Structure 1
């Protein structure tokens, strides 16, 4: 084996050809599964897209680095399923750009966080985590409750997501700013349009506890309360496997 290696190193052309061969084999093994991606990714007829407010919240989640400490991927390990719920399916992240899967956790996995805690719990936790979890290492994000959310660019963000495959309609893009306001102001004239365009199961309420101008807290809490609720595919799969 070593003699072959030494002989190969003496031939520049032979070494380059061997490297190309090995790299091609490895590349083929990684790329080949993508040719059958339509067959391997689950189908979910009830899957819905993110609302504009949830898109804004996801951007804040990424901006503040939340993904660095909290994964959104429940693995098929028994202890993870027992703690967090059904393991994550690829279809649940088909509208994520970028995807936030991973196994590095400083805090708990958030894949099925949606509606597990109240909005007031999330608001208090983000404002000062140690008020609720004394041993928490998480920093406080007090400015989220103070900073007003920018909504004038939400239509462009939805259009950009449509360009990469998220099936937003022209109506959803045109009403992005109105829908963001309506989702966090249930008594407003804009609220009914949110349920009409995104489904009756969409969370529509004052996420930061106050109706009126939108805050970054509204958006982030709306996003957190959506996690794991876009489709019931994982729970359907779990039931089918149990049977």
Structure 2
């Protein structure tokens, strides 16, 4: 009862009660903020980490727009069953260019952090048009309009410029060529494909993702899904080297 009496007496002194609340909140804030001062020492760097191409970034925007993050996380924990099911656990540095990050914990559908390369482009297109065609038990909604919607690319340069202000190392050349590079990624035999690879690296995937004659939102989303977990090979190398 003495504890309740002390609390009752504290409530009668509003100023003291406010000070106690501020002190308690300050302790919690300090615990959360203090580690940020040493973040450069605690977060690893990935020497081969690359940025999203304009087409992949456009696909990421569509992924967010359609609410895919509400059912799919992109963060594999260090638990054994997760690693065995999804692949190497996620590293913080893999999300350094993600604004916003899409880690999450909601898994109505499977985690997608290592989805890239697991299925063909045709599989993804069929899955997005009608999930039940490839996964009969799926409860995922269909997104057939993505194949019909022409991808808007005019604002991609401005988007890259905004991300550069947040620390993503896009160059002036990348920003200036963003609309052309988005189209070039689906046209491997075009003149623009050479410039795209020169700007984004040899690991850049060049192919018509949705297989159509024009650039669609389906192309962009499939390009994004196919690059998930493929921006760096470090996590895979670390797993292969483990005893």
Give matches, 1:72-83, under 5 Å. Answer: 72-83=74-85
Structure 1 equivalent of residue 236 of structure 2 = 235
Q: Residue 191 of structure 2: SS of its match in structure 1?
A: coil
Structure 2 equivalent of residue 214 of structure 1 = 215
Structure 1 equivalent of residue 101 of structure 2 = 99
Unaligned ranges ≥5, structure 1: none
Moved segments of 4+, more than 6 Å = none
Number of residue pairs matched? 241
Structure 2 equivalent of residue 18 of structure 1 = 20
> C-alpha separation between the residues in 1 aligned to 2:93 and 2:54?
20
> C-alpha separation between the residues in 1 aligned to 2:68 and 2:132?
16
> C-alpha separation between the residues in 2 aligned to 1:230 and 1:4?
57
> C-alpha separation between the residues in 2 aligned to 1:54 and 1:41?
25
Q: Residue 190 of structure 1: SS of its match in structure 2?
A: helix
Task: Give the CA deviation at 1:3.
Answer: 2.0
State yes or no: 1:33 paired with 2:35. Answer: yes
Structure 1 equivalent of residue 111 of structure 2 = 109
Structure 2 equivalent of residue 8 of structure 1 = 10
Deviation digits for residues 158-217 of structure 1 (CA, Å, limit 9, x no counterpart): 00000000000000000000100000111222111111111111111000012x321000
Structure 1 equivalent of residue 47 of structure 2 = 45
Q: TM-score, normalised by structure 2?
A: 0.97
State yes or no: 1:163 paired with 2:168. Answer: no
Q: Residue 23 of structure 2: SS of its match in structure 1?
A: helix
> C-alpha separation between the residues in 2 aligned to 1:87 and 1:224?
18
Task: Give the CA deviation at 1:234.
Answer: 1.3
> C-alpha separation between the residues in 1 aligned to 2:239 and 2:27?
36
> C-alpha separation between the residues in 1 aligned to 2:125 and 2:64?
18
Task: Give the CA deviation at 1:41.
Answer: 1.0
Structure 1 equivalent of residue 66 of structure 2 = 64
Task: Give the CA deviation at 1:239.
Answer: 4.0
> C-alpha separation between the residues in 2 aligned to 1:57 and 1:115?
16
Task: Give the CA deviation at 1:238.
Answer: 2.6
Please give the root-mean-square deviation of Cα atoms over the aligned residues, in Å.
0.9
Unaligned ranges ≥5, structure 2: none
> C-alpha separation between the residues in 1 aligned to 2:43 and 2:17?
39
> C-alpha separation between the residues in 2 aligned to 1:148 and 1:182?
15
> C-alpha separation between the residues in 2 aligned to 1:119 and 1:150?
21
Give matches, 1:137-148, under 5 Å. Answer: 137-148=139-150
Structure 1 equivalent of residue 227 of structure 2 = 226
> C-alpha separation between the residues in 1 aligned to 2:50 and 2:200?
7
